[in-house]
Structures are given as C-alpha cells and as structure tokens.
Amino acid sequence: MTESPDGGSERVPSRDRRRFPGISSRSYEHPADRSALVALRKLSGFDTVFKTLSGLLPERSLRLLFLSDSVRVSDRQFTHLNDMLRDACHILDLEKVPPMYVNQDPQPNAMCIGLDEPIIVVTTGLVELLDEEEMRAVIGHEVGHALSGHAVYRTLLLFLTKFALRVAWIPLGNVAVMAIVTALREWFRKSELSADRAGLLVGQDVQASMRGLMKLAGGNHLHEMNVDAFLEQAEEYESGGDLRDSVLKILNVLPRSHPFTTVRAAELKKWAASRDFQRIMDGHYPRRDEDKDTSVSDSFRDSASHYADSVRNSKDPLMGLVRDIAGGAGDLGGKLRDTVFRGGSRPGDSGGDAGGADGANGPGGSGPAGK
C-alpha cells in the first residue's frame, strides 16, 4: 500500500516481490499440461519424428534470424524489458537468463522456442499493447515455459505447423505428421495454463494478469472493458448452450495453439484463489532438487484426479452427459434427446424458436449456418 496525494491509500504492486529459490516447475504446472505431454510422448510415431527433426531443425538459423532482423533486449536496448526479464529469472530462480528479442509485428504475441537453449521473442504489437505490470506477467509466462522445458516442443510445433507439406518424405506420411501436430497443439494449449500461473508468480498481481488477457481479447480499450464482466463471459461460455454447442467448442479450439482468453482468465483466477497458490506464496513448494525423486504414478494420479474433478464440476452439457453415463443413467437415449433439443422443437413438433432459426439458415438460406 502507498500513500496517495489526497491522503488516502491505493494499491500499487510492490517492487519487492517474493522470490522462490530452487522452485520446481511442478509447483505451477497444470495437471492437464503434464498428462497431455505424457499422452503426446506415447503417440505412435512421435519418438521417430522427434529424433528426426531434432537433428534437422535449423535452430542456429533461427537464432541468426532473430539476431539479424530483430532487436535484442539488453541493458542498452529495451532496458525496461531487460529489467523485467532479469527480475523474472531471479524470482523463479532460473540461473541462465535466456536471450530475448523484440520482433516487428503488429500482432500481439510472445513465444519461447529453442532446442538446446530457450529464446524468448515478443512482438512490437504486444509491447505497445501492455502496461508495465501486464508485460511483467507475460515475461514471467515465457520464463515459466523455459523453466518447464516447453521450448523444445514449442519449436517442433512451430516447425511442423509451418512446414508440414515439406516433410511428406517422413516414412509416417503427412497424415501421421498432422496427427502429431494436433497432439502438440492439444499439449501446448494446456501448457499455456501452466505458464499463465508462472506469470502470476512473477508479477504477483492477479489484476494485471487479468488485464493482460483481456487486452489480448479486446485491445487497448481498458476504459471500455471490465474484468468481472470478462470473467462472466467465461462462465457463460463454459455452461451455456446444449450438446451441439459442446461439440462446436471442441471443433473451434482444435486448430488453435492457445486456449481462448476468457477460459485462460477463469482458470488463472481460480488458481489464484486456491490453497496451492497461497502455499507457494508462503514458501511451501516442491524444489528442483526433489524432481528426481518424483513418482510418475503420483503425477498420473494427480492428472486423473484433476480430470475427474473437471467432469464432476463442469457445467458443460457434454460433461453432464459423461456424468450420466458414468452414473449409469437409465434412459440415456431420452436424456440425450432432451439435452440436444432443450429450448427448441423436437422432430415432429410444430413451431418453436430453434426450429424457426434452423429453417431460416438451412440449405439454400442466407444466414451464417448456410455458409
């Protein structure tokens, strides 16, 4: 708390942030991140592609590209970003500070890539969009990726996404490569939830983290936006609609490398209010020197428990159907029919709002559903 000019007090993020010596990435990794990575590694053909591409990826070329055509952050260039980067590495106790570059691109974005050593890249669009505390959370997010070892798989995803057509010579064929791309995207979406948590540990200002995510969705118009209303969107997204909407949500997210921003904000807000986060802030967290003794089966159990809780507590209609199946619902067919046609007419019924909308946008119609 600091004294304001009118004699009152206002909340200003402290420059003396808590540090986490020896912290293990297990402290902040989302259970879905760990389980998705395990599933990715078990994907048929992944080891072959990984070993092949690890020797072929032009990492040196990538580093030279950023060195030659971007601005390297240092104590002489983008000094405020350099201070944030060093501060983030200090807080998460990352011994070697990764090189960081600012790349000219109006699209707000940041990434941590590299096979041998991570490189952090932020775009000018992101630098211009965020204020200091929001940017601090983003840099902490990328340092979290580096500490978790995500850069290797992010680099593979970047390469395979951009050059999938050029790797048709791989014995697995293009179909298998695209299956691996899909699995990589699924893992990376989960890894973003982990890195958001790392960003909060670095910035230690949940409102700044929320604002940053909100700006990624709606641009630099804070005077027109509200964090609580933004989180209400996430609630509506998670619980609204019927089974058709549940399927559309899955289809919408499949081609994306990042989760939707409202979902990220809701997940981070939930973690910030959890006992796990408070224990870390109090200095009670897993250490890196304990990683070698970590039980793989314990990690599996944690992931399974997380997914079970997600299904049990989810308001999504599809998850409700999964609960009914697990609980042995008697009239499952009727339940499915009622869920799909809730709020609209069933086949054979006359009239109804949903039926009218479907008719307007059906074959030959001019509405969105006909496109």
Active site residue 128: no
- Check residue 274 and give its pLDDT: 95
Indicate which residue of 142, 186, 192, 267 is catalytic.
142
pLDDT at res. 169: 54
Instruction: Work out the pLDDT band at 371, boundaries 50, 70, 90.
Output: low
Tell me: the pLDDT tens digits for 288-299? 988 776 554 555
Task: Answer yes or no: is pLDDT of 304 > 60.
Answer: no
Whether 133 and 208 have beta carbons less than 8 Å apart is answered as yes
- Find all residues with CB under 8 Å of 326, minimum gap 6, and list them: 311
CA–CA separation, 77 and 86 (whole Å): 14
In b/e form, how buried is each residue of 88-116, taking b as 16+ CB within 10 angstroms? bbbbbebeebbbbbbbeeeebebbbbbbe
pTM of the model: 0.71
The pLDDT-based confidence of 348 (bands split at 50, 70, 90) is very low
What pLDDT digit, counting tens, does each position of 62-110 carry?
777 888 899 999 999 999 999 999 999 999 999 899 999 999 999 999 9
pLDDT digits (tens, 9 = 90+) for 312-343: 554 544 445 444 544 554 454 554 455 444 54
CA distances from 144 to 81, 82, 160, 369 (A): 16, 16, 23, 41
Tokens standing for residue 185: 């995207």
Structural element, H or E, at residue 110: strand 110-113
Instruction: Look over the chain and give the mean of its residue pLDDT values, rounded to a whole number.
Output: 74
119-134 tens-digit pLDDT: 999 999 999 999 999 9
